[in-house]
Amino acid sequence: MNIDLNFKKALHFLISLMSALALNNVKRSNRPTNQVIIKANTNSDWDCVDFAIIHLAASWRTLMSERLLTAQSFVKDTTFHNLNYWDVPSGYYLNTEKKLYTETILYPGKDWTFITLEPGEEESFAVPKNSLEAHQLCITPHLDANFKAFSTHTNEEYWTESFYIPHMLATIASTAFDSS
């Protein structure tokens, strides 16, 4: 009888482990894909965020190219600070004890990389406790961009690391695109 109980516990553990692994198959891609993982941070004393996912659909790439052209017209203006757009990444997420995405997927010293996600996988990621609003995309005169948002009730800020728009768009355009 004791053997049956131990067998059931072991079987339950293996099923739980297999389920967790099946939902967390995010992988770094050596070719451009339509998803990027990028490091994220917050100034909250009690909430956390570690990364965001950006979906690079054709419409997003077109819109970013248009925004890049707009920002380039301000590059020589020394009084220009940045352009802000109402825009949002796919979501802000947390590493968990079992899945350290930013440590295992990103190359050392890099803030973002192309990834592949399984269908529905993004919904399995842990999210910050705060509800976020006022999502923005900020583009600097140096053509770097980052996303930011604010918590609904505490006004704490959440943001992604910066990415150089021309580099991201050129990388996508210059190599075979993996649409997975």
Low-confidence winner among 11-20, 73-82, 102-111 (lowest mean pLDDT): 11-20
Among candidate residues 135, 155, 154, 156, the one with its CA nearest the CA of residue 146: 135
Q: Is residue 166 over pLDDT 90?
A: yes
Low-confidence winner among 19-28, 39-48, 132-141, 171-180 (lowest mean pLDDT): 19-28
pLDDT at site 4: 55
Q: What is the pTM of this model?
A: 0.80
* Radius of gyration of the CA atoms of the chain, in A: 19
Q: Is residue 23 over pLDDT 60?
A: no
Length of the chain equals: 180
Residues of the chain with pLDDT > 70, as a percent, come to 82
pLDDT at site 13: 42
CA angle 82, 68, 79 (to 5 degrees): 30
pLDDT at site 7: 53
Cα–chain center distance at 2: 46
Round the average pLDDT of the chain to a whole number and report it. 83
Q: Is residue 48 over pLDDT 60?
A: yes
Q: Is residue 40 over pLDDT 60?
A: yes
Neighbours of 54 (CB within 10 A): 23
pLDDT digits (tens, 9 = 90+) for 57-99: 999 999 999 999 999 888 888 898 999 999 989 999 998 776 7
